[in-house]
């Protein structure tokens, strides 16, 4: 299960606060992704990055922001503009951004807004 | 965009029986269809995938079939075992960056 890590495992946030979720990979993968997992809704893409210093919005990017300053790291910030941020967040990486490449997932961060 | 529907949402089978999960997709340009398994408390992991130039693929007790005309694909698990209990996600891609996931099927194997 090594290679892609997320921290923290659990995160609690007060309403109105921004919070940053960490995602690191040592697989030398070019592409990285952030998904949100809610019960009964599968995995929904928030942001993705095919290469360092480049990223694009996914299907549910509103209220989120990312950066990709290093190949190994793709942090996600959940801003106060995200109306319903309580969810399980999964980071993934793949060797390239081509859709047929296996995506390797991190262990996830469960965010709870109090 | 691509819309992937997955059925059933829950599936309970007796150990040793077979399990079948079905997915439909909307975009005829999709050409890659992976299946991910997520055990309780763990991360999703790829278990099998199929490309549009192949109709069926097998790996030990699991198999995936694809019907491009009808735009649906299925996961078949034979001789189910307790360790097959998990949430299974289908997905579809058009060879670009994006995987569109189904909502998931929770499979429970009864001893």
Pairing of strands B10-14, B4-7: unpaired
For residue B109, the model assigns a pLDDT of 98
A41 interfacial to chain B (CB closer than 8 Å): yes
Between CA A47 and CA A34 the distance in angstroms is: 5
B positions 38-67 inside 8 Å of A (CB): 42-46, 49, 51
Q: Is the pLDDT of residue B55 over 50?
A: yes
Which residue in A6, A32, A33, A100 has the most chain B C-beta atoms within 10 A of its own C-beta, making it the best mutation to test that interface? A100
E strands in B15-104: 19-25, 32-38, 45-51, 56-59, 62-67, 72-77, 86-92, 100-101
Q: What is the mean pLDDT of residues B53-76?
A: 95
pLDDT tier for residue B64 given thresholds of 50, 70 and 90: very high
Structure tokens at B47: 């278990």
CA B27 and chain centroid, separation: 17
CB pair distance less than 8 Å for B96 and A41:
no
What's the rounded Cα separation, in Å, for the pair A73 and A93?
10
Residues A82-98: pLDDT tens digits? 989 999 999 999 998 87
Are residues A34 and A91 in contact, defined by beta-carbon separation less than 8 angstroms? Answer: yes
pLDDT tens digit sequence for A22-72: 999 999 999 999 999 998 888 999 999 999 999 999 999 999 999 999 999
What's the CA gap between B21 and B64, in Å, rounded? 10
């Amino acid at each position: 299960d090594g290679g892609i890590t997320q921290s923290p495992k659990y995160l609690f946030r007060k309403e109105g606060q921004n919070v940053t979720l960490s995602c690191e990979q040592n697989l030398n993968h070019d592409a990285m992704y952030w998904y949100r997992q809610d019960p009964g809704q599968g995995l929904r893409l928030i942001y993705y990055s095919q290469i360092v210093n480049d990223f694009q919005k996914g299907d549910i990017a509103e209220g989120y922001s990312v950066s990709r300053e290093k190949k190994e790291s793709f942090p996600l910030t959940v801003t106060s503009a995200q109306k319903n941020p309580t969810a399980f967040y999964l980071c993934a990486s793949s060797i390239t951004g081509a859709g047929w490449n296996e995506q390797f997932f991190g262990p996830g961060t469960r965010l709870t807004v109090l | 965009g691509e819309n992937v529907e997955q059925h059933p949402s829950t599936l309970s089978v007796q150990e040793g029986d077979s399990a079948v999960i079905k997915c439909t997709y909307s975009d005829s340009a999709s050409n890659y269809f992976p299946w991910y398994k997520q055990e309780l408390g763990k991360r999703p992991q790829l278990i099998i995938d199929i490309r549009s130039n192949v109709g069926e693929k097998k790996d030990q007790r699991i198999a995936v079939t694809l019907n491009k005309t009808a735009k649906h694909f299925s996961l078949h698990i034979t001789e189910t075992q307790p360790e097959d209990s998990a949430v299974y996600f289908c997905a579809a891609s058009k060879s670009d960056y994006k995987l569109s996931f189904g909502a998931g099927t929770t499979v429970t194997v009864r001893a």
